[in-house]
Structure formats: C-alpha cells, structure tokens
Amino acid sequence: MSLSSIKLIAFDLDGTLLDSVPDLAVAADQTVQSLGYSSVSEMQVRDYVGNGADVLIARSLSQSLTINPDLSDEIKATARERFDEFYAQTGHKLSHLYPQVKETLAQLHSAGFRLALVTNKPSKFVPDVLVQHGIEHLFTDVIGGDTFPIKKPDPIALNWLLDKHQLTAKEMLMVGDSKNDILAAKNAGCYSFGLTYGYNHGEPISASNPDYVADCIDQLLDVLRVSA
C-alpha cells in the first residue's frame, strides 16, 4: 500500500521521534519528592506521559494513570512549576532520537514533503530539543501542547495546518506512537501512521486502528514510495 496524495506529514515528538522519558522521569521524581510525595520510577513515567506536562505531574503525584481527585489545584500548580524548573535543568542530556529518525526526516524533506511537528510537550522546551538533535531546520511548523487551548486528540492543530497550507485532509498524514495521535488524525479526517514503540499507556497502537502500523519510522519511506 502507498499514499500518493500526501503533501504534509505531521509528527508527534515524545515517543515518536524522541525517547524523552529518561529526562522526564528525573524531573518528575525530583518534583514529587520535593513536595513530600513518594518517588516515581522511569517505568512508571513511561506509562504516565502523552497527555501533556500537567497530566504527567498529576499522575506522578497520584502514583497512577488515574489522577487522585483529592489533589488540590494549588498542589498541582506548584508541582507543575517545579517540574518545569527541574526538567529545564536536565538539559535533555538523557533523551535521544529513536533509530532512523534523523535519516528518515531528511529523506522526506529532500523528497519535497512538508514536515510539521505537533506535540503535547510544552512549547518552551521544544526548540532546544530540536536544535540539540540537529532536526530543527526540517520542520515548516512546530506546534506545542500550549500553542492552542486544547491538545491532541483534539484536531485543532491538524486543522490549523490544513488551513495554513491550503490542503485537504487526505493530503496530510499524522505519525505518532499513541492513541492521542491516531484519534487526532481521525478527528481531522487525515491518514494515520502508528509506531509500535513509544508511549501508549501499555496499549498496542494497533488497538487505535491507524491506517498503517510500523515497528520503525523508516517504513514511512516505503509507504510514501520515497527512494534512498
């Protein structure tokens, strides 16, 4: 199968292009411990990520995917402020691109596809991460988790891209590792490409019924018929 109509490819960041959990886990653990809560492990944080920093921290405080309703708005706000400070201090030194990400993005860019980034990660952390890994120049648009008032799975960011680039939904492909990415694509009416690695709360990405499922991002090149 191939997609001949695609002109724009929107990528998720954490869990799709970048394994950021090692740094997120350090910051989350420092945050909860600084507030007198129990420590969280990297394994736990791998399940907690994907819905933005506010949810990640609330889950870490709750020690569960289900946020404790007894957590006050004040403690959640304080925790988020501390998390941002601790996360910035990591310098993202433990984060790394997944295999074949840089090469695949470069080939798609060279082949004439427009590439965009649509992440639930707070916007202020995104530019440094992209520069650190040498991929910042490949994206026409970078949309963070606070660029719009609603995050994925809402399609607002994808619809904005369609409007900006004057494209139909069938000319865009969303690439991601979680059901939020696949649902955002479905809600926007565009095609979806799900990766089996990354962070999806322990659920297989196939359960979200993306149009394509792949174990490595370079399989995009075959789907889009991009030759080396």
Helix (H, G, I), strand (E, B) or coil at 1: coil
Q: How far is CA 151 from the centre of its chain?
A: 11
What digits encode the pLDDT tens for the residues 86-135? 999 999 999 999 999 999 999 999 999 999 999 999 999 999 999 999 99
What digits encode the pLDDT tens for the residues 170-206? 999 999 999 999 999 999 999 999 999 999 888 999 9
Quote the pLDDT of residue 125: 94
Mean pLDDT for the chain overall = 96
Res. 1: pLDDT tops 60? no
Is the Cα torsion angle 106, 101, 48, 38 positive or negative in sign?
A: negative
Q: Which structural domains are found in the chain, ordered by start? A: 8-17+98-224 (3.40.50.1000), 21-90 (1.10.150)
Scan for tokens 């649509």, then name that residue.
118
Cβ–Cβ < 8 Å for 176, 16:
yes
Quote the pLDDT of residue 202: 84
Quote the pLDDT of residue 15: 95
Cβ–Cβ < 8 Å for 199, 179:
no
Task: With 0.85 as the threshold, say if the pTM is over it.
Answer: yes
Q: Which residues are the active-site residues?
A: 12
Cβ–Cβ < 8 Å for 189, 6:
no
What digits encode the pLDDT tens for the residues 18-50? 999 999 999 999 999 999 999 999 999 999 998
What digits encode the pLDDT tens for the residues 42-85? 999 999 998 889 999 999 999 999 999 999 999 999 999 999 99
* Mean pLDDT, residues 149-177 taken together: 97
- 111 contact partners, CB below 8 Å, separation of at least 6: 224, 226
* Phi, psi of 150, rounded to the nearest 5 degrees: -125, 140
- Relative to beta strand 114-118, strand 8-11 is parallel
pLDDT level of residue 228 (50, 70, 90 thresholds): low
Quote the pLDDT of residue 227: 82
Closest CA to 49 of 89, 87, 104, 85: 87
Binding-site annotation: residue ranges for Mg(2+): 12, 14, 177
More confident residue, 1 or 210: 210
